[in-house]
Structure 1
Amino acid sequence: MTRLPPLNALRAFWAVMRKGNFRAAAAELLVSPQAVSQQIRLLEDRLEVTLFERKGRRIEPTERAILLSHFVQAGFDEFAEGIQRVTNSAHRNRININVSPYFATRYLVERLERFRDRHPGADLRLTTMIELPDFASDEVDVAIQWGFGQWTDFETALLISDPKIICCSPELAGHISAPQDLTRHRLLHPILAQDLWARVLRHLGLEPHGAASEIQFQDAATMRRGTISGIGVGLISRIDAEEDLKAGTLVAPLGMDALADMEVADIPGFYLILPRAHRRIGIVASFCDWITSENWTDPPQAR
């Protein structure tokens, strides 16, 4: 049986993989950068492989380091889950949920009482964040984030798709009558998906590099306001676009269904995300079962 490397070496390795350099890893572990470097050398000697390419002051993980990091993360998740079990925290009623602000306000908040009806003693702690949190340092049990299902290191489940509508102000709409007209205007998109317009333009038969200019926004609400103000053409969630088109503050110059037949892989959505070990905690498993059973396309008052 292969002898396992020392735990300190694995901790140092995992810290370096997450932080990107020895100094930041050392700060997290409360040791010197030299101590981290020694642990990495020890691990490389024990495994007889090179884990990091040293290029001056920079380090880059090798392919083997990237492969190993997935298993080390899974191992530490298992350690954490085991500690929770022996301290009875697996039977706790608190659940820490981190949610995309848009999903929280548009979908989740009005439905949370349904989960409380199932589990009256549940202690829900809800925070919002645009990007995926660090489950360990942020003490998050589950997250709900917007994206394309790219979180391969975690358990994920699509809750609802977020199809987009090409929208602009009424003033700009008079200058857009065909897909190629989009390339003459500023394109607005969320910073979390810098290739979203590229996917859209390819779907419309255009070259992405042909766009005049782009502006990135941190969140959907700000991008929506920018589109209404007329600074560019935005990709607006259907649920918002329907409201704005009805109010006359936005126009869909190419029609509401211009992107209706996009490839499924190119349509973003909101995903439930959690480390696989977290589902073994009773209250977390119950929350996951509830949230994946909800029909998020139905208005909350309709059920």
Structure 2
Amino acid sequence: MARRIPPLNPLRVFEVVARTQNLTLAAQELHVSQSAVSRQIAVLETYLGIELFRRERHGVTLTRAGKSYAEEVVPAFDAIASATHRLLGSTSQGALRLRTYTTFAAKWLIPRLQDFRQQHPSIEVRIDNAIPDVDFDRDPADLAIQYGDGRWPRVNSDFLFPDEIEPVCTPAYLKQYRGARGRLEPLLQHRLLVSHYRRNDWEDWLAFAGMAAAASGTERMSFGSSVLTWQATLDGLGIAIGQTAMLKAELESGRLVRPFARPYRGDKAYYLVRPKVQREARKIMLFRDWLLETVAHEASDNERPGS
């Protein structure tokens, strides 16, 4: 048997009038006119075929049937309000939950996060590291930073910066393994360091630079992450593909160098993603604004002459 549910807007008006026992107060709470409240009550009474209120000179009072109905309808709306409060509270209250890759967190985000903390000391940021793309319906995250083409279903994405890659090594490694008269091809013939999750980077850059033949027989050493790969590079184990944005500190300090100075940009980039259909809490918008401002400021600095 199909459930009979009356029109919800008139039912909501009935709940407010029954609770306040006053048409004027009900109209104020609902942000409508008093006549609009009366019309909605009339619609509900017509649907039910029962008089719910007595119209008296000083206002309205519930009939016996109306009082009985209100005793069940008002608690139902209270339960809906409580459920809605809990649902919205799960996203608007508490820590900001950010999901991203270990390398991005360690080499880009964490070195800059203190600036956000100084601006917004009341917002706690919790970082969860994961490789698969986020599923906001499944994963406990408010935001995520992902690598890709920016076209993911059911999310809004903000472009952060392109994926710029090129070989990096230590100054000592460059001095030891470059060829006579400064030839750079010999750097590709000793040992190439490879990150497991970025294992195609070497092929992409070598094809771009036209140097695939120079590295065709070179020994390769693989590591489980880019962070480990770059640490091995700093320890002089070989030459690796670096992501320029992630190695800003090492390149500016001179701990690592870009011997070929030929960066390659593919068709993928880093994006900030958030659910497409979600009431965006203040903490989410503050972090998004800070992140985009930080990226824009650094991009502007990089474009200045001499930078």
TM range (shorter): 0.5 to 0.7
- 3-state DSSP class of the match of 1:277? coil
The residue that corresponds to 1:32 in the other structure is none
The residue that corresponds to 1:149 in the other structure is 149
Query: What per-residue deviation string (whole Å, max 9, x for no partner) do you get for residues 197-240 of structure 1?
Result: 11101111244893534333222221112223343321124463
* C-alpha RMSD of matched pairs (Å): 3.9
- 3-state DSSP class of the match of 1:295? helix
Q: Which residue type is aligned with residue 186 of structure 1?
A: R
Within the alignment, does 1:216 sit opposite 2:222 as a pair? yes
Q: Which residue type is aligned with residue 207 of structure 2?
A: R
The residue that corresponds to 1:61 in the other structure is none
Query: What per-residue deviation string (whole Å, max 9, x for no partner) do you get for residues 21-77 of structure 1?
Result: xxxxxxxxxxxxxxxxxxxxxxxxxxxxxxxxxxxxxxxxxxxxxxxxxxxxxxxxx
Give 2:189's match in structure 1, choosing from 184, 190, 203: 184
Give 2:177's match in structure 1, choosing from 158, 173, 197: 173
The CA distance in 1 between the partners of 2:225 and 2:84, in whole Å, is 35
The residue that corresponds to 1:92 in the other structure is 93
Within the alignment, does 1:228 sit opposite 2:247 as a pair? no
The CA distance in 1 between the partners of 2:185 and 2:294, in whole Å, is 40
The residue that corresponds to 1:79 in the other structure is none
The residue that corresponds to 1:243 in the other structure is 250
Cα separation, partners in 2 of 1:84 and 1:186, compared to 1, 3 Å: farther
* More off after superposition, 113-122 vs 124-133: 113-122
In the superposition, the TM-score normalised over structure 1's length comes to 0.53
For the 8 Å contact 2:165–2:205, the answer to whether it is kept is no
The residue that corresponds to 1:204 in the other structure is 209
Query: What per-residue deviation string (whole Å, max 9, x for no partner) do you get for residues 235-270 of structure 1?
Result: 1244637736855x655443xx222xx3x435x653
- 3-state DSSP class of the match of 2:140? coil
Within the alignment, does 1:108 sit opposite 2:113 as a pair? no
For the 8 Å contact 2:184–2:259, the answer to whether it is kept is no
- 3-state DSSP class of the match of 2:266? helix
Structure 1 residues without counterparts, runs of 5 or longer:
1-82
The number of equivalent residue pairs is 209
Q: Which residue type is aligned with residue 215 of structure 1?
A: M
The residue that corresponds to 2:11 in the other structure is none
The residue that corresponds to 1:67 in the other structure is none
For the 8 Å contact 1:149–1:158, the answer to whether it is kept is no
The CA distance in 2 between the partners of 1:96 and 1:273, in whole Å, is 12
For the 8 Å contact 1:165–1:252, the answer to whether it is kept is yes
Q: Quote the offset at 1:96 in angstroms.
A: 0.8
Map 1:39-78 to 2 at 5 A.
Answer: none
The CA distance in 1 between the partners of 2:111 and 2:234, in whole Å, is 26
The CA distance in 1 between the partners of 2:205 and 2:103, in whole Å, is 21
The CA distance in 2 between the partners of 1:243 and 1:187, in whole Å, is 19
Q: Which residue type is aligned with residue 295 of structure 1?
A: V
Cα separation, partners in 2 of 1:245 and 1:117, compared to 1, 3 Å: closer
Q: Quote the offset at 1:117 in angstroms.
A: 6.0
* More off after superposition, 192-201 vs 100-109: 100-109
The CA distance in 2 between the partners of 1:151 and 1:84, in whole Å, is 31
Q: Quote the offset at 1:139 in angstroms.
A: 0.6
For the 8 Å contact 1:157–1:271, the answer to whether it is kept is yes
The CA distance in 1 between the partners of 2:183 and 2:276, in whole Å, is 46
The CA distance in 1 between the partners of 2:233 and 2:281, in whole Å, is 43
The CA distance in 2 between the partners of 1:191 and 1:274, in whole Å, is 27
Cα separation, partners in 2 of 1:230 and 1:112, compared to 1, 3 Å: closer
In the superposition, the TM-score normalised over structure 2's length comes to 0.52
* More off after superposition, 237-246 vs 122-131: 237-246
Q: Which residue type is aligned with residue 189 of structure 2?
A: R
The CA distance in 1 between the partners of 2:176 and 2:279, in whole Å, is 48
Percentage identity across paired residues of the two chains: 22
The residue that corresponds to 2:123 in the other structure is 122
